[in-house]
Amino acid sequence: MFFHVDNLGFGELSCYSGGPFRGASTDRIDTFAAEGFRLTNYCPESQCTPTRSALLTGRHAIRSGTHSVPIGSSGGWGLVAWEKTIGELLSEAGYTCAAYGKWHVGEGRGRWPTDRGFEEWYGPPRTYDEALWPTDPWYDPERDPVSRMLEIKRGEPDVTEGEQLTLEVRRDCDAEYLRRAEAFIRRSVQNDAPFFLYFNHSLLHMPVIPRAEFKGRSGQGDWADSLLELDPTSARCSTCSSASPCASGRSTRPPRRASAPMQGRSTRSATRSWLLDVLV
């Protein structure tokens, strides 16, 4: 499991000496980090698109045609066709892969997550800034672009458009990501299948809006409230995965066509990792 968190500072989680200094302790994330692989020197790009591109491909974003966030693009942009993503590599090794949340490394047929090794995806194609569009007094959806939540499963010809990305949708979308992620994990566990979950939180990308049940809980403002909202996600996903035979080393069916470097490695450590996207 890989949780990608936009705009989260290096020292804001308790496991990185933050937490109380930011007005909220992240106890569940700390536990998740202790069970997995924690980096102490993680240097992302300065924007969402190149950071995601480098993560997914293991290469500098400028080599993949995704060195900056595209502004005003309506489709047909993204990772160059010859790139291999972690989703594709793990799928070839027998893993079931799913992505939830912002994609932001390609748009249009042939460039969706399902074209890059993931079996399903739900989220917005670009940035959560677009949730602010409807609040502009001059915004006209009949004239101006409309940003929507999208979803697609492998084998479908194109994405299905959902509700418009508004501040209300932005506020609550992580709950829907989590619902889908838990269902994906449970299916994988029931099928005794190794899996890779690429979970892209909407937090803490602007606009920072905690859900109603977390609003005011920290007493330190929306940012600290959002840290408290972020914290339970890792615990819920980890609880689902802990029942997996793969996570406990009890799998009776190894990944198909596993490459030599993957054989003999602890699947538990591979499926429990926490890495942070720190955007400046």
Catalytic residue numbers read 48, 104
3-state secondary structure of 274: strand
Residue 183's contacts (CB-CB under 8 Å, 6 or more residues apart) are none
Q: Six-digit token pair at 168?
A: 């209300």
Cis peptide leading into residue 204 (ω within 30°) = yes
How many other C-beta atoms lie within 10 A of the C-beta of residue 46? 10
Q: Six-digit token pair at 212?
A: 């109603």
Alpha carbons 278 and 144: distance in angstroms, whole number: 31
Closest CA to 266 of 249, 250, 241: 249
Looking at the DSSP bridge assignments, the partners of residue 148 are 164
Q: Tokens 């940035």 identify what position?
A: 127
Amino acid identity, position 183: A
Contact 176, 122 (CB under 8 A): yes
3-state secondary structure of 255: coil
